[in-house]
Amino acid sequence: MTNDHFERAKRKARSILKDPDRVAQLVAGVGSKLSAANLEFGRMGERIKIMIRMIKAYIEGNYQVIPWKSIIVIMAVLIYFIIPLDLIPDFIPVTGYIDDFSLILWVFKHLQDDISTFVWWEKHGRSKV
């Protein structure tokens, strides 16, 4: 799955990952958008929150076993989620989030092993890995 907007988001992710302050700003932006879209408590919101926790754990140095490529894809999907003008602009009622959600589902499917391993790590000790 690829589109120009997501490819740009991946390039931006590589840059943002070099600066913990920019990562924190991105995470805050995603949290704000979750609240604004009333997504905090749904299944999609939970998936996004898992990705946020993965990024935070990685940046803080607590969880390093995830491949760099997976971190880039997760960062890119979070960037894509907060960019209002993507494949289908978010300001279009209801349909504006279809591309965002499709991409999030795609990431969850393709990174299922990495995500499952992280969720297991969270539940079973959270020691540095």
The residue among 6 and 68 whose pLDDT is bigger is 68
Question: Closest by alpha carbon to 108, among 53, 44, 63?
Answer: 44
Residue in the block written with tokens 């749904």? 42
Average pLDDT score over the chain: 83
Say yes or no to pLDDT of 9 above 90: no
Q: What is the pLDDT of residues 11-33, one digit of tens each?
A: 899 999 999 999 999 999 888 88
The domain segmentation of the chain, as residue ranges, is 4-123
Whether the per-residue pLDDT at 88 is higher than 80: the answer is: no
Q: Report the distance separating Cα 53 and Cα 118, nearest Å.
A: 9
